[in-house]
Amino acid sequence: MTEQRPHFSTFRQRLLARERMFGTFLKLPTTQVIEILGPVGYDFVVIDQEHAPLDRHTTDMMIFAARASNIAPIVRVGDFSDANILSVLDCGAVGIMVPHVTTVEKAQTIARACRYARGARGFAGLTRASNWGSVGSIRHMAIQDQQVTCIAMIEDLEAVDRAADIAAVDGIDALFVGRGDLTASFGDDPDADAKVADLTSRVAAAAREAGVSLMLLPTSKTDLAFAKELGARAMLVSSDHGFIRSAASAALKDYSD
């Protein structure tokens, strides 16, 4: 891909402007996958601490590789404590995604952890986020508050009912609908897909009402059309695991037929 993408630091600006962007989840503890995705043209990656064995050091290196590849690094934090969010942001992530945001109180906690002004983020001057002190402390804090994105995942039945209130929390920039967990909550219900589609539409309406962005992971071209219809512009496409499995399966089929 030869077209120059906007700088990774503009992710929040582009998200709020509803620009079309594509990303993927990363679960493999490596930097090489990210280096491959950069030239392909992905706008962002979600480094998945929740479902993958990614410790602080590995996360740091993956954030470094994303920035070097001009891909916006977002981290899905398994631990939404102030300390873990601070570590991720100081390492240079331009946003966090938090699973299972079921209450306004949790949304307020994570939003405050992302912000200096009117927030609770601890200050450190010599970090990758500050470009190792190349800007003054006041300027650094202002830039971070402008650039850091806070994404709440709505993936529990009780969270859908509270989605409007969660989206209205100051500092929440986007809602991501975790349709996998919502589907799992219905067990073997044959109408699960239809019910989840309705719940997703309700969350989308809550996002629109609050003026925040909607993010989804479409699973097909038809599902992509559904996501666009709901107003989602930032899409997650599969994962590194998914890409490897699908490509390996296709190659094996091609060569064994």
Q: Looking at the annotation, which residues are catalytic?
A: 51
Cβ of 132: how many Cβ atoms within 10 Å? 10
- CA 201 remoteness from chain centre: 19
Angle (nearest 5°) at CA 120 between 115 and 124: 80
CA dist., res. 80 & res. 10, Å (int): 24
Q: What tokens appear for 158 in the block?
A: 């009780």
Cα radius of gyration (the chain): 18
Q: According to DSSP H, which parts of 26-169 are helical?
A: 32-40, 56-68, 82-90, 104-114, 137-147, 157-161, 163-167
Q: Phi first, then psi: what are they for 95, rounded to 5°?
A: 180, 165
Asked if 149 contacts 94 with a C-beta cutoff of 8 angstroms, the reply is yes
Angle (nearest 5°) at CA 61 between 82 and 129: 55
Nearest to 95 by CA among 45, 60, 136: 45
* Helix 32-40 × helix 56-68 angle, to 10°: 30
CA dist., res. 130 & res. 137, Å (int): 8
Beta strand pairing call for 213-216 and 149-154: unpaired
The two most distant CA atoms of the chain are separated, in Å, by 63
